Amino acid sequence: MSLATDHQGFLLDAQSWTEDWALATASRLNLPWDELDQKIALVIRQFYFTFDLSPPMRPLVKQIKTNFGPDIGNSIWLMHRYGESPARALALLAGLPKPKNCL
């Protein structure tokens, strides 16, 4: 599925996001995408559309901890699952702009 993205692969229009696009992107980047990842993406999307902000790491961890508990909502678990920049990887998979503090 081809949607308009910037040069780093982030969707230009967050409203155009689909699960199929996220699955294809996760596969292309060798990132996990299962039911849990989908639920995390939906929580992050809700955060974005509420606050008009892709969550940087600390708010991301807090949001995930609130919704999924401390076993998943911690930076170590997120880094093991999504690599060294979970906020960036999850924003990408959720079809959101790159968080402002991510390189």
Annotated domain spans of the chain: 35-103
Q: What is the mean pLDDT of the chain?
A: 94
The answer to whether 91 and 44 are in contact (CB under 8 A) is: yes
Q: Which of 14, 31, 72, 102 is catalytic?
A: 102
Q: What is the pLDDT of residues 32-67, one digit of tens each?
A: 999 999 999 999 999 999 999 999 999 999 999 999
Question: What's the pLDDT band for 101 if we cut at 50, 70, 90?
Answer: confident
The pLDDT of residue 6 is 94
What is this structure's pTM? 0.93
**Tokens found for residue 13:** 């229009």
The answer to whether 12 and 5 are in contact (CB under 8 A) is: yes
Cβ-based neighbour number of residue 80 at 10 Å = 10
CATH architecture for the domain at 35-103: Orthogonal Bundle (1.10)
Tell me whether residue 30 is one of the annotated catalytic residues: no
Q: Hey, is 78 helix, strand or coil?
A: helix
Q: Hey, is 48 helix, strand or coil?
A: helix
